[in-house]
Structures are given as C-alpha cells and as structure tokens.
A and B are shown apart, each in its own frame.
Chain A
Amino acid sequence: MKRPLGSVIMLALLLPGVWLADGQTLTIPVPTELPIETAGAIDVGVPELLFAGIPTLFVCAMFLEALGHVRERQPPS
C-alpha cells in the first residue's frame, strides 16, 4: 500500500504540483558570514525545486543503494 500511495503523491507533485506552484518561491536564509551577494536570503522557485529536487533525491538514493554492495565487501575468513 505504501508504494502506490507514494507513487500517487509523487505524480501529484510532479504534474499538477509543479504548475500549481507557479510564482511561489521558497526563501532560504543564508548565514551572513557567507559572501553571498543576495545578502541574507536566496529565493528559489518552488516549481524548479520540485522539478529538479525530486529526481535528484531519487538518483542519489539509487546510487547509495547501488554502491551498498561495494561498501559491504568483506574478505573471506
């Protein structure tokens, strides 16, 4: 049940979600110590964040899973 439900949520975020979020931005505070010209905050468009963030997370998760068998490599006793 978890997988189909997660799938529907992902479809909703990617298809109507990206469009419905048009114009919305997410403000990410930047520590003032950092030499960022925007001085204090970065505005990221929510549509871009959804469109690029979901696949990026998925690819990262897949690489971690795929490389797991290398991490677990042990010499024979």
Chain B
Amino acid sequence: MMSLQNGAVGSATERFGRIQSVLASVFAKYAPLVGLLAVVAVLGVEFRYRLDFAQQPLEPYRVFFELLIAGLVVAVLRSKVGLVTYGMFGPIIISFILVESGIFWGLVLFTNVFLIALATYLVIEPFRLGTAHRIGALVMVVSIGITSFHVMSDTGVLPAQVDALQVFFPAIVTAWYADRFARELSERDWRAPAIRFSWTVVAIVIAAAIIGNEALITWFMETPETWALVLAANVYFGTRSNMRVKEYLRFSNVYRGSRLSAAGSTIRAGLHNAWARLNQLVGRDVSRVEPTTVMSMQRRNRLIKEYNPPHLYPEIDKASMKRTFHGTGVSTPETYALVGSLDELETAQSIIDGRDEFVIKPDSGYGGEGIVVVTGRNEDGTFETSTGDKTPDELLGHVRSIVEGQYDPMGLEGVAVIEGLIHPDDHLLSIAGQGVPDIRVIVFKGFPIMAMTRLPTEESDGAANLHMGAVGVGLDVANGQAQGGYQSTNKWFDEHPDTGVDLEAFAIPGWAEILSTAVKAAEVSRLGYTGVDIVVDEDEGPMVLEINARPGLGIQNSTFDGLLERTTFIESLPDSFDLKPPAEKIELARQWDAAGWDEDATELAEQWETPEWERSRDDVELAMREDGVSEARTDESDGRSADDAGSATTGVSDR
C-alpha cells in the first residue's frame, strides 16, 4: 500500500478551525444530495400512506421499476466489473425483449436482427456511403427483417415466442450496434468487436435475469421506502474510483503479487481510508493509503477531469493541434491539406495525383482507426498502402468517408488530414523490421513520468497500435533503456516476435531530445496529463505525431510499473515545482526515475528549494546516494550497464 500524506496534529484552535472548514466543505458537497434523497424518501412514505398496496396500484407502471433496476445492474457491470458493452441504454432496452419472449428466443431474435444489419453493412461497405445513408440503409433492411420474422411467427413458420413483442423492437439501437461492430471489424479484425459483442450479450442476459425476477421487482415496487436507497447506491458506486474486476486481471502482473493479495490490499486500504475520513471529520490528520501503485481507468478519468480542462478538447484533434504547434518549435509531419468539406475534395485529388507518399488520417480517430499510409505508386497507377493496394479513386473515397463522419465519434462530420510520410530512423526500424515505430511519453504537470516505444509487428500489419498487435517496450525515463516487450493480449517477449532482436538490450538514441520534445508538446497543448506520441524521422529528428488527452493504461504492463505511484509522487511536490523550467523538470524526472520514484518527495523538495550557495554540498551527497541506488538497480536488472544508470542520474549523455 502507498501512503499519500502525513500531517501532525496542531493546537486546539487550529483543530477547531479545521473541523469548521471540513464541516463546511462536507455540507456544501453533500447537503443537496441528502436533500434529493430526502425528497425521494418522503415521496415513498407518501405512496405508502396514500395507496392501498394490496390492490397492486403500481402494476401498470412495472416497466419503470424494471428500467430502474436494469439501469443499476448495467451501470455496475460496466463500472465495477469492467464489461465493455455497446453503450448503457441499449442493453437495458434489449433486456426487456428477453423478459417478454424468454432468454433463448429473445437472444435469437436480437442476434438475427444484428446479423441482418451486419450483413447489410458488409454488402454496402465498398460503396463508402456517408453516415446518414449508411444508417438509413441498415434501418431499412432491419425493419423489413423484423416484419418478416413477425409475419413468419404469425403464420406458424417460426415459434410464437418470436412474436412476443409485436411492434416494439429497438431496430435503430440494433442497427447502430451492427454499424459499430462492422467498423471495428474493418479496422481491427474480429477480436475487439467480438469482445464488445460478447460482453454486451452477457450484460443483456444478466439484466434480463434480474428484472425477470417478478418477486424482486414486485417487492421493490411495493416498498417505496427503498427507492431512495437504490438512488443512493448508484451515487455511491459512481463516486468510487477503485479498481474494476477486469483490471485486476489486466494488470495482475504489475501488482507483483497474487490477485488475491491485490484484492486483500484493496479491502485493507478501503477500511483504512474510511477510518482516515472519520478522523478528518474531528480534525485529526491520518495518512490515506492507495491499495496499489497501478492506475485504474476510473482513477485516470479523475486525473483527466482535474488536469485536462474540457474547454481544451476541441483544440487537441489532429488538425487543430497542428495549427497550435505551428511556430512553437515543436516539429510535426508536413501538412499537405486539411479537407473539411466535400467542396475541398479537389485538393485531396490533386495531392493523390501529384504525390507518391503521404498519409491520410481522420482528425478525431481513435486507436489508429482510419489511418492509411501510402508508401509508393505501382506501375499500374495503384498505390501501395498500409491496407493493401488502392486505386486513386479508393483513396479519394476514403477521404470522403472521413469528411462525412465515418470516424467521428458523433458520426456527423470530420476533417481528413493529409500529411507527409515519415521515414523512421534506422535504429527502431531495424528492431521492428517494418512500419513506423513510435515512442509514447506520459507527461504529467510538465514531468515525463513514463515512456514506451511501440514496435509494429506482422500481426499488427505494420501499425504501431498495441491493440492491433504491436509490441510495447517499456523505457526507463532516466535513460531510454528498454525493459522488454509486451502485447495487449498479455504476452511478454524477450525478443521481437518477427526480427528476434533482444528487447532488453537497446536504448533510444537522443533520449534527452525526445523527452524535451514531449514536454514541449505537452506544454503547448496546455494539458496537465497527456500521452505524447513521437516518431524519430531519419532527417528531421523527433516529430510529434499526436497528443492524447486520454492516454491508455497499457503502458503499465510495458514498463511493469504502476502509473499511480508516479502521479502521486508528482502531486505531492510543493507548488514551486510547477514553476520550474521544462529542462529542469526533465532532469528531475530522470533522477527520480533512476531512483525508482521512491525517494521521499518532501526531502527532494527541500533539496531543490535550498538556496544555490548551499546546494553544492547537498548536490555531492545526492549524487553519491543516487549512484548507490543506480548501482543497486543495475545489479537487480541483470544486464543493464552501470554506464546507463550513471549517465541517467547525471544527465551527461544519451546513448
């Protein structure tokens, strides 16, 4: 467990002042919620007195109570278990069908309608319809399909259970599911959509099984005093940012212990923190603890909410970020065109006609979706691309589909970014053997706290995205030393699966420049917590590919270390550290990384706050202590040279 803060008990006056302050803030936060719960509770009591429940007066409104319970079930499955489903409301609505028709025939009907929509998508896919026409076509065929199944049931061809819901079927929701499934299938092959589909089915079945329990729903409906409790439970679960069940599995190896001990640690930390909160109410300072050093998704989301203001989000898509970087000294690939409307397709046409190498990407794509890398022109006029040979018309069609919102989260419209092709430096390219390897640096409050390089593989088809099969190799922030490879399917490699290069025996050349580029880019973006993707071009050096406001957590499996330990370390620093220049922040981060991020932050803070004329003696002691730590780490790592660690702590040179 990790201690967060320590404090001493002050005088009686101070304690009284603190009690007042704590009570005021608790009141401001909780009073409105208590008021809302009180309103619902009083309403429940009113129901009890005004209605005769022996007559089952709420029976016509049963569906609303089923909805309420199903909402809680699906919310818990998503946020606590970590099931990845297609939205939240879809599974709730579809679970109602299963209640009416029985689980088997309900699932059969849902899956058949889903398959009809999916098949329709795959048939019309080559025509690259815009979002509106595409969804329109899916809903049309789905509507005909549902009608056909009902008529077949009416005429006895199919069982009567299929006809359980004569008119109602969430055709649009199911068509939308199929649309998302097919798009993921096109971009990422079967695994990702299969996972989402499977867990959606699981959520639907669990929700249906619970709301299909008549006794439970009837009891809830006829006990109006409990309604407020369900609302309170939902709010309580929503405020807990602890690890989800799925994340215990995903990061099980980062815990460096059994999953059981990780769960035990979570319970102990929960009890301790509840005790700490009680003490805070009476003005005592008791250290809070984190159960683990691993950053969970909910904890990351809280960090993002605090450090990445929502008003910056419109400025961090690829197109806007390129404009922002212009003139700041942060290198990005040359932009040939930003195509934001169908009127501008001529610009894209002229680039396709006149150039042999370029990259087409959507400005708001996720996880590498929609990126086509054009690497050359064949003799027959077609292009060699990352997604196979394409004709000029097909490339133009891809630009059009981006503009029409194919990759936009809302499916409305998008901007196609056409930019120059990067020729990666030989060093990483020789390790990966193909594609464009990149380097992800997590920057928090201006400090680079974690890094990895993502090496394309044959499995990823040359893409540098972990979920597509690329290998992530954790890097020491101190010196860019590799720590071994990891694939998102929780496979670890000592050697690159295609080239056989040892993934613990190399370091990134020019590491200081890469860190400097990442920190500068994060500074320009004004995001407090970000993942900066950098590619080293053979001529231009480090170039920023992308800034991520919600960087993924898989990097923890690559570095075999938890992010939470490092963000907590940075947060515990005095405010004066925020004002330090980027170069100094980088130097500090490299030193802390070499020391394993377990130095006492307060002690380091005092070290750096000491006046310059007093620091010389302290510097010598610090260097000596860190040399000792570095040597110890070198011994542990069995294979890392003392030079690596030494150069990291002193920041003298890069490999």
Contacts and interface: CB of A to CB of B under 8 A. Distances in A.
Nearest to A22: B157
B316 interface: no
B378 interface: no
Contact of B489 (A6, A11, A52, A72): A72
A51 B112 contact: yes
B201 interface: yes
Interface residues of A, number: 36
Interface in B185-227: 190-191, 194-195, 197-199, 201
Contact of A48 (B120, B158, B493, B560): B158
Contacts of A65: 190-191, 194-195
A62 B194 contact: yes
A13 to B, nearest CB: 10
A68 interface: yes
Given A14-B115, A55-B111, A4 B198 contact: no
Interface in A1-57: 3-4, 6-8, 10-11, 14-15, 18-19, 22, 47-48, 51-52, 54-56
Nearest to A71: B489
A59 B145 contact: no
Interface stretch (B121-129, B167-175, B263-271): B121-129
Contacts of B141: 11
A51 B158 contact: yes
Given A7-B123, A74-B490, A66 B198 contact: yes
B17 interface: no
B555 interface: no
Contact of B492 (A11, A56, A76): A76
Nearest to B144: A15
Contact of A72 (B107, B190, B491): B491
Nearest to B193: A62
A55 B108 contact: yes
Given A72-B490, A73-B490, A75-B253, A66 B122 contact: no
A72 B490 CA distance: 7
A14 B122 contact: no
Chief secondary structure at chain A's binding surface? helix
B544 to A, nearest CB: 30
Contacts of B253: 75-76
Nearest to A70: B249
A7 B158 contact: no
A52 B115 CA distance: 12
B115 A58 contact: yes
B119 interface: yes
Interface in B71-117: 104, 107-108, 111-112, 115-116
Contacts of A3: 122, 125
Contacts of A4: 122-123, 125-126
B468 interface: no
B24 to A, nearest CB: 49
A15 B116 contact: yes
A47 B159 CA distance: 10
A4 B127 CA distance: 12
Nearest to A65: B194
A11 B190 CA distance: 20
Contact of A58 (B104, B111, B148, B195): B111
B494 interface: yes
A27 to B, nearest CB: 19
A59 B492 contact: no
B338 interface: no
B573 interface: no
Contacts of A62: 194, 197-198, 201
A15 B108 contact: no
A18 B111 contact: no
B542 interface: no
Contacts of A55: 107-108, 111-112, 115
Interface of B: 104, 107-108, 111-112, 115-116, 118-120, 122-123, 125-126, 141, 144-145, 148-149, 152, 157-159, 162, 190-191, 194-195, 197-199, 201, 249, 253, 484, 486, 488-494, 560
13 contacts: A3-B125, A4-B122, A10-B115, A48-B159, A51-B158, A52-B108, A58-B115, A61-B194, A65-B194, A66-B197, A68-B191, A74-B492, A75-B253
CB-based closest 8 A-B pairs: A55-B111, A7-B119, A65-B194, A76-B492, A66-B198, A7-B122, A66-B195, A69-B489
